[in-house]
C-alpha cells in the first residue's frame, strides 16, 4: 500500500494525473529485479486495487496500462458518472466541494487544488470515465465491490452501470460482490478480506 503524492505523509501536490503517474511508478518499482528478489514478488501475479478514489483510479490506470491484468475496485468512483452528477445537481456539487475543502491541509491530509482537480475530471472523461473506458478494460479480470448502504458510491448509480458497461463491452471475467454495509465496510471487513483472498486464488 502507498499514498500518492500530496496525500498523508507523501510529499508534493496531489492531482488526478499525479495519482496515475504514481501508480505507474509504484508498479515499475515492484518490477525491479532487486525488489522482486528482496520481497519475493511474482510480477506475473500482481493485482492493482483500491478503495473509493483509489478504486476508481486503479480502474482508470488499468485502462491505460495493458500490463495490469487484474484489478480490484472497492466502492470505486466512476469519475465520468461523478462529473455527470456534478453537472446535474447544484446541491451535490456544492456539498462535494465543501467535503473536498475539508480534506485540505491543515485540517485534512491532502494538498491539492480543489477546482483544478474537478476540472481535470470534467475535461478528460476519456481518461477518468470508467464506463467510457469499458472497452479498454474488457480483457482484464476485475473484481467490483459495493455496499447497499453506501450513500457515496451507490450501487444503482455507479457500480451496477459500470458492471453492465463492462459486460456489454465483452468482459468475461468480471465478479461483482455486494454487501449490506456503508462506504467504510467496517461491519464486513473479515468477510470482505476472505472474499478478496478467494478471488485472488481463482487464477
| Model pLDDT for residues 47-106, shown as the tens digit of each residue | 999 999 999 999 999 999 999 999 999 999 999 999 999 999 999 999 989 999 999 999
Domain 16-200: which CATH number of 3.50.50.60, 1.10.275.10, 3.40.50.1820, 3.10.290.10: 3.40.50.1820
pLDDT in the model for residue 3? 86
Please list the residues that pair with 175 across neighbouring strands.
143
pLDDT in the model for residue 2? 85
78, 129 Cβ separation under 8 angstroms: yes
- Positive or negative CA dihedral for 92, 97, 103, 107? negative
Could you say which residues of the chain have pLDDT below 50?
Answer: none
2, 104 Cβ separation under 8 angstroms: no
**How many residues comprise the chain?**
203
DSSP line for 12-78? S-B-HHHHHHHHHHHHHHHTSHHHHHHHT--GGG--EEEETHHHHHHHHHHHH-TT--EEEEES---
Q: How far apart are the first and last CA of the chain?
A: 22
- What does the block give as the cell for 147? 455496499
Residue 23 has φ and ψ, to the nearest 5°, of -60, -45
pLDDT in the model for residue 202? 87
Amino acid at each position: 500500500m502507498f499514498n500518492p503524492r500530496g496525500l498523508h505523509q507523501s510529499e508534493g501536490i496531489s492531482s488526478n494525473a499525479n495519482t496515475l503517474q504514481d501508480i505507474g511508478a509504484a508498479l515499475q518499482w515492484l518490477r525491479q529485479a532487486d525488489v522482486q528478489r528482496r520481497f519475493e514478488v511474482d510480477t506475473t501475479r500482481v493485482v492493482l486495487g483500491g478503495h473509493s478514489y483509489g478504486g476508481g483510479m486503479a480502474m482508470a490506470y488499468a485502462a491505460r496500462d495493458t500490463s495490469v491484468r487484474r484489478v480490484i475496485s472497492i466502492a470505486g468512483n466512476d469519475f465520468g458518472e461523478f462529473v455527470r452528477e456534478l453537472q446535474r445537481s447544484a446541491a451535490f456539487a456544492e456539498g462535494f466541494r465543501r467535503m473536498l475543502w475539508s480534506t485540505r491541509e491543515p485540517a485534512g491530509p491532502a494538498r491539492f487544488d480543489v477546482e483544478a482537480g474537478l476540472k481535470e475530471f470534467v475535461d478528460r472523461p476519456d481518461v477518468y470515465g470508467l464506463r467510457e473506458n469499458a472497452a479498454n478494460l474488457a480483457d482484464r479480470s476485475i473484481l467490483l465491490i459495493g455496499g447497499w448502504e453506501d450513500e457515496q458510491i451507490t450501487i444503482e448509480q455507479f457500480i451496477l452501470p459500470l458492471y453492465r458497461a463492462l459486460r456489454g463491452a465483452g468482459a468475461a471475467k468480471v465478479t461483482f460482490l455486494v454487501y449490506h454495509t456503508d462506504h467504510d465496510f467496517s461491519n464486513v471487513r473479515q468477510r470482505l478480506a476472505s472474499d478478496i483472498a478467494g478471488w485472488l486464488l481463482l487464477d
